[in-house]
Amino acid sequence: MRYGVFLTIQRAIMARKKKWSDSWTKKAKEQGYAARSVFKLEELEKRFAPLRGMKRFVDLGCAPGSWSHYITRHNHKASVVGIDFKEVNSYPGTFYQSRIEDMDPQIVRTDLGGIVDMVLSDMAPNTTGNRLTDHVRQLELADKALDFAVSVLRPGGRFVVKVFDGEDIQDYYMRVKKHFSTVKRLRPKATRNTSVEFFMLGLDFKKNPSSQN
């Protein structure tokens, strides 16, 4: 293939990706959300209704705040604690600018009245373009999210986490399954076609008596 033809094809692909991304971003702005990621949570809710009946939430990697705004907009009784090392403006709850590993779970439980119904994580690493490297880094964050969820959730609680597909994903699935009676998977429509991300949803947390000692 000639180099000029190759460049033309690449530019066409990039233009199509940009148009696709811009359409979701525009839709998010029109609805008053800071990021198109809100539609991923919306689809999870439409498919599995994980937010239904939940009142106390922890949003890990919450910047720029779209998931938390979605939760509080659709549930006026919801209380949300958000954690992110990036600053978030106009957060609809209690916000901590911190890395997850530096947060004391007891502080979060206290903020939510001693009970946490659901933990959500949309955390993602800065991607390198190397799928294996990105997969491993994403699972490191997903493991931190799972550990945090196990430390704060009430029995019967729920967990949503972003992951990147790859060779170790089944092992991670089994780690989630160890703590939740049901685990579901979803690749939302708002996910880029070239992305390997999807979400796991853990339902009915099986409380370990030692997890909150």
CATH number, position 170: 3.40.50.150
- Both 24 and 115 in a single domain? no
- Both 192 and 114 in a single domain? yes
At 138 the three-state DSSP class reads helix
Cα 33 to Cα 36: distance, rounded to the nearest angstrom? 7
- Both 25 and 109 in a single domain? no
In a domain, 94, yes or no: yes
In a domain, 151, yes or no: yes
- Both 43 and 126 in a single domain? yes
At 131 the three-state DSSP class reads helix
In a domain, 112, yes or no: yes
- Both 151 and 99 in a single domain? yes
- Both 158 and 134 in a single domain? yes
Count Cβ atoms below 10 Å from residue 136 Cβ, excluding itself: 15
In a domain, 210, yes or no: no
- Both 175 and 99 in a single domain? yes
Domain range enclosing 164: 35-205
Q: How far is CA 113 from the centre of its chain?
A: 23
Confidence (pLDDT) at 36: 77
In a domain, 194, yes or no: yes
- Both 87 and 56 in a single domain? yes
Confidence (pLDDT) at 119: 98
In a domain, 213, yes or no: no
- Both 122 and 23 in a single domain? no
In a domain, 108, yes or no: yes
> What is the pLDDT tens value at each position of the chain, 213 positions in all?
554 544 444 443 444 444 445 676 787 677 667 667 899 999 999 999 999 999 999 999 999 999 999 999 999 999 999 999 999 999 999 999 999 999 999 999 999 999 999 999 999 999 898 989 999 999 999 999 999 999 999 999 999 999 999 999 999 999 999 999 999 999 888 776 777 899 999 999 997 644 444
Cα 103 to Cα 124: distance, rounded to the nearest angstrom? 18
- Both 16 and 71 in a single domain? no
Confidence (pLDDT) at 195: 79
Count Cβ atoms below 10 Å from residue 111 Cβ, excluding itself: 17
Question: For residue 138, what are the contacts with CB-CB under 8 A and spacing of at least 6?
Answer: 124, 125, 162, 163, 164, 197
Q: Spot the catalytic one: 144, 162, 189, 207.
A: 162
- Both 109 and 18 in a single domain? no
Task: Look up 19 and say whether it is catalytic.
Answer: no
Confidence (pLDDT) at 170: 96
Domain count for the chain: 2
Is 82:105 a contact under the CB 8 Å cutoff?
A: no
- Longest Cα–Cα distance of the chain, Å, equals 65
Phi/psi at 73 (nearest 5 deg)?
Answer: -70, -35
- Both 124 and 188 in a single domain? yes
In a domain, 109, yes or no: yes
Between helix 131-152 and helix 169-179 the angle, nearest 10°, is 10
Q: How far is CA 92 from CA 25, 40, 103, 203, in A?
A: 21, 19, 19, 25
